[in-house]
Amino acid sequence: MSTGEGVRVTGVGSWPGTDAAGAIRLTLGELGEQGSPGEPYLPELPARGVTAQLVGRTGAVLSGLSLDLQPAGWRLTDALGVDARRARSLLRQDLDLLEEEAQGYSGPFTLTVAGPWTLAASVERPRGDRVLADHGARRELAESLTEGLSALVSDLRRRLPGLALAVQLDEPLLPTVLAGGIRTASGFSRHRSVGRPEASETLSRLVEAVRAAGAVDVRLHCCAAGLDLPLVLGAGFGTVLLDAERLGRADLDLLGETLDGGRAALGLGVQPTAVADAALGPDELSRRALALLRPLELGPAVAGRVLLTPACGLAGWTPGPATQVLRSLLRAADIVTEELGR
């Protein structure tokens, strides 16, 4: 079975431990084997500290701006402080390790960063409160992320021209941003909701720029409830990755139409991640996937546009069960592909 014909498998970001070389080697080995339905990715290792976690790591990608670590969290700045230097150093080290470990590999590969709206809701302005509160500041942050991410894609394509590079934006806070649910710094009120046109335009510009830089796919991952799927699909993402347990009937109907029309691929987070080390077997994983896909009556042609994933990252797990998740997902993908073909 080739990856283009059947259901595929990938991870969604974080991984346990602090051994970057080992994590990269493992994900390439488990998911990058020739003929496998797996798609390797660059794992995040949050156990290395805040500068290696999603927001700090994404701050290392920014162009023309930087992040400064304060007691309340990350703050936007134009100066490159010690924490920002540490974050950039870790990212460079990971990219160097990837270049070394991926020599000779040719195929799909995914790089993950925080999306612009989760970043704006997580980072403070220099004058206080979230970037989200200031229209100009959030636009500037999104432009910085777009420019920096485009440059990173170009750099990776130069280093490893055999990679079919996909970029994944993690947007766990996007539903809350759109609903006006992000609390202010005081905690006594909430920031205004961001209008759908602005949210969509920001995402669309990023998608277009990253594709122009050479990414073969731009994906959005959200494991929170209430994601505005029409907005995300309208912004041009090629793949949407979601927690399978949070999908309602209306979501599935829209995703079914999207799959059937070939407009986007769907990542189903069939392995729950909230309880650490509770790895499901391939039979249960495939059952969960088929319970969602069969009612859509799409047939075998859509199998190549479906990915099986963990619902969220695996940083809170231990390496053995986390590795077992990848292996079970690979076996489950074969089962789902076979069942969809019947």
- CA-based nearest residue to 222, from 167, 168, 274, 171: 171
191 domain residue, yes or no: yes
123 domain residue, yes or no: yes
Q: Is the pLDDT of residue 80 over 80?
A: yes
Number of helices and strands in the chain (H, E): 11, 9
Mean pLDDT of 146-162: 97
59 domain residue, yes or no: yes
Report the C-alpha gap between 132 and 318 in whole angstroms. 35
Q: Is the pLDDT of residue 150 over 80?
A: yes
Annotate 220-248 with DSSP letters as a single string: EEE-SS---HHHHHHTT-SEEEEEGGG--
Residues of the domain holding 105: 49-170+180-218
**pLDDT for res 38:** 97
Taking only the tens place, the pLDDT of each residue in 51-69 is 999 999 999 999 999 999 9
| DSSP-assigned beta bridge partners for residue 221 | 170, 241
- CA-based nearest residue to 141, from 241, 55, 212, 218: 55
Burial class (CB in 10 A: 0-12, 13-18, 19+), 231: middle
80 domain residue, yes or no: yes
Report the C-alpha gap between 270 and 331 in whole angstroms. 13
284 domain residue, yes or no: no
**pLDDT for res 188:** 78
Q: Determine what percent of the chain is predicted with pLDDT higher than 90.
A: 87
Distances (CA, A) of 341 to 287, 290, 312, 327: 15, 12, 28, 22
**pLDDT for res 1:** 29
Taking only the tens place, the pLDDT of each residue in 97-128 is 999 999 989 999 999 999 999 999 999 999 88
268 domain residue, yes or no: no
Sequence-ordered list of residues with C-beta below 8 angstroms from that of 96, at least 6 positions apart, any chain: none
What is the total count of domains within the chain?
1
309 domain residue, yes or no: no
76 domain residue, yes or no: yes
Report the C-alpha gap between 138 and 256 in whole angstroms. 33
Taking only the tens place, the pLDDT of each residue in 232-288 is 999 999 999 999 999 988 999 999 999 988 999 999 999 999 999 999 999 999 999
Mean pLDDT of 5-20: 95
Q: What is the mean pLDDT of the chain?
A: 94
Query: Are the CB atoms for 310 and 275 separated by under 8 Å?
Result: no
